[in-house]
Amino acid sequence: MGIFIDLKIIPQRIAPDKWKKVYQETLHLIDHYAFMDRIEAVRNGLPYSFSARTKDRENLFGTGYHGWNSIGDLRTGENTENYVLYGDIHAYLPDGQTKDNGADILCAVLPDMDDIIKTSGCINIWGNKTQGEDSHIYLLAVACLITDRFPEAAMVSGDISAGQCRKAVAWANQYLDTPIGLPVTAVREKLLMRVRQSGIPGDKQLEAFYLLTLEAKDAGLGAFVRREFSAEEIAQRYRECFTRFQIDQHGFSAYMKEYLEMGYDFKELCRIVVESPKGMQAGPEEFLHKIIESKLHIKSKETFDYTKLSTENADCGEVDNIQKMFAKVMGRLCGAGNRNVNAFYPLEKIVEDSQEVFGSQCDVPSLIESLLKESEENGSGDILQSVLYDDADSVCRQDDLRKNRKACEEEKYDINSYRELADFIPGCRMKPELEADIIKNFRMLHQFAQEEYEEFRVLDRVQRENFFIRNNQDILLHKSVWDIIFGRVMDDAYIERIYSLFHVNCAKKDGYNFCRNLFANIQALDYYWDRTKDV
């Protein structure tokens, strides 16, 4: 499981001089964000690594080509996997490269579908994990730049959304001489035009549009689809989706929710699920139970969903980190998703449409009345749904109150978490509970130093340097930190603090975060070490 940004290009379609020009634009962007690179070095015959600001490097990774590499950001020290960009398009044209067949690059990300020509000559130059770390949006900005400059030869995809793209493009345009636009997949009108010009068969175009769009599948997108595609095309798409599942499976509920939230015809849904021989042919009672359970007939209800991924909540620029994504996926598997649909259809219309479509199979008014009575008596019938979303004192409502209180509280302070220690300066306002925890931890460091430091004191310069090189296993230190270590390694009064941090157990998350964030801002380390000394 991971969070990815993919960038595909068809290098045969890109002129070398134009690629060089765009590469120079990417260098301009990386000058305005602290992308982090990993540099290998040797001291005293021992190899070690340090982090440094990403910049153009000659013979990157021994390829013979210059380029840049990012593995995260320097401000927080948060890591991603490698994101590499070469300054010469020939780096992406190895011997034996598959010939470009002229197919639209959009087809490169579509699953195998009948009668769709797959793109050849296309390579994925990015496809690693960002894990939703801070640099995710800024890497996306670089990908959006390349996609904008080479619309027929480049495409960005992965765990991204239209909202993220808007955020990335807005940031990039502050620094580019020639502004860029959103990727075609983030603009419904442009995407549909490309799909229709791509050679994708007409009966596959709606599904291709659904698979490619980065926009939220909401009422606005639904209205656009209804204008551009026939009612039968929409119905056929959902017949194919629904018939993959039984009505009691999560997949059915997810597609039903999507259908209703996009504002599609309820009467047609009745036909697809219950009446049509080509549809699911579910029973009227189990279908109407799902409808009542979704509270489609109730205008005011809680529709927030803890398990909704940031890529599904596509209009906002939020990025899930890997921990949040994992929690949402597990929550969904455990049934913590909100069944309430973000749509409204009057009860009398539900009765009327159901009666018209499958009234011959059952007494629709009596059945709905019975289901409503059951819902009123038993609530949602699901304790988790009630506790999380529906009760007057639900977790969701209480969470809103807590978030509001937390936001108000955090506005009082400059530093509210260990992660924000990267922005620490002496005299800033720190959350009292956080500062108390920091002071407690530093007192423990002092106690440890008193017990263990004497063994280190007897070492000479090379031995001391080698101690730090050999024991730096968990955290990629910035070059400036190594400069401090090597420059002050014989300063017993100072180096004791670095020595103490090197003995924190960074295999545990709390220890890792404590050390990483202090090494990210040495003045925070110095300030709290001196403040807690002899206390």
Q: What is the mean pLDDT of residues 413-433?
A: 89
| Residue 247 vs residue 95, higher pLDDT | 247
Question: What would the two tokens of residue 332 be?
Answer: 């969904």
How far does CA 129 lie from the centroid of its chain?
Answer: 10
Q: Of 529, 531, 505, give the one whose Cα is nearest residue 518.
A: 529
Most confidently predicted of 57-61, 413-417, 421-425, 474-478? 57-61
Q: Where are the alpha helices (DSSP H) in 345-421?
A: 347-358, 364-378, 383-385, 395-410
pLDDT in tens, 478-530: 999 999 999 999 999 999 999 999 989 888 888 898 999 999 999 999 999 99
pLDDT in tens, 90-104: 999 977 778 889 999
The predicted pLDDT at position 77 comes to 86
Q: Which single residue is written with the structure tokens 């470009």?
A: 100
Going from the C-alpha of 424 to that of each of 35, 186, 257, 348, 387, the distances in angstroms are 20, 37, 45, 60, 39
Q: What is the mean pLDDT of residues 149-158?
A: 98
Give the integer Cα–Cα distance in Å for 105 and 122: 8
Give the integer Cα–Cα distance in Å for 45 and 265: 72
Q: What is the mean pLDDT of residues 229-253?
A: 95
The predicted pLDDT at position 34 comes to 96
Cβ-contact 200, 237 below 8 angstroms: no
DSSP state of 218: S
The CB density around residue 5, as the number of other CB atoms within 10 Å, is 24
The predicted pLDDT at position 251 comes to 94
Q: What is the mean pLDDT of the chain?
A: 92
pLDDT in tens, 171-229: 999 999 999 999 999 999 999 999 999 989 999 999 999 999 999 999 999 999 999 99
The predicted pLDDT at position 336 comes to 82
Model confidence at 233: pLDDT above 60: yes
Model confidence at 401: pLDDT above 60: no
Give the integer Cα–Cα distance in Å for 230 and 212: 19
Q: What is the mean pLDDT of residues 266-286?
A: 95
Model confidence at 380: pLDDT above 70: no
Confidence band of 384 (pLDDT split at 50, 70, 90): low
How far does CA 439 lie from the centroid of its chain?
Answer: 34
Strand 154-158 to 123-126 pairing: unpaired
Q: Which single residue is written with the structure tokens 């977790």?
A: 395
Q: Tell me phi and psi for residue 154, to 5 degrees.
A: -145, 150
Confidence band of 118 (pLDDT split at 50, 70, 90): confident
Model confidence at 392: pLDDT above 60: no
The predicted pLDDT at position 335 comes to 83
Give the integer Cα–Cα distance in Å for 232 and 224: 15
Q: Where are the alpha helices (DSSP H) in 31-161?
A: 136-149
Q: What is the mean pLDDT of residues 414-429?
A: 88
Most confidently predicted of 13-27, 316-330, 513-527? 13-27
pLDDT in tens, 29-69: 999 999 999 999 999 999 999 999 999 999 999 999 999 99
Confidence band of 82 (pLDDT split at 50, 70, 90): very high
Q: Residue 266, SS3?
A: helix
